[in-house]
Amino acid sequence: MSNVTKLDHAAVEIEQIRAVLAAAKTLTEENRPVDLAAIARRLGALCTAVDAMPRDIGQALTPALESLALDLDGLAEVLNQRFGDLPLLGELANTKDAAGAYGTASKHFP
């Protein structure tokens, strides 16, 4: 698959995940169940795909990824309102693993 095709596929996946996040936010507001594990799997696959791209190609996704991050923040806010404060990533993951993930992801940002 060419880099352009990978980029296009990732851009479509970002928009699909954003739609899933919007639906998850609405479901949470309606006190209905949401499969957060499925969202996490899709996000993980997206991150893996973007991480495998050359830096100059991956950087083209920066605005879309920033919007996705804002949508995730919005869902987190609704979940916090519904269920109380959620633990921070550092409380859930091995700090070394989290630092490695952030370090790997940072190659796509100046």
C-alpha span between 82 and 12 (Å, rounded): 30
Amino acid at 28: T
Q: Which residue has the higher pLDDT, 36 or 98?
A: 36
Q: Residue 27 burial (CB < 10 Å; 0-12/13-18/19+)? A: middle
pLDDT one-digit tens code per residue, 23-42: 999 999 999 999 999 999 99
Q: How much is the pTM?
A: 0.74
The total of other beta-carbon atoms located within 10 Å of residue 71's CB is 19
> Could you tell me the CA-to-CA distances from 104 to 12, 27, 53, 71, 107 in Å, in that order?
22, 33, 12, 22, 6
All residues at 6 or more sequence positions from 6 whose CB lies less than 8 Å from its CB, including other chains: 49, 52, 53, 57
If pLDDT is split at 50, 70 and 90, which confidence band does 109 have?
very low
Helix (H), strand (E) at residue 15: helix 3-29
Position with higher pLDDT, 96 vs 40: 40
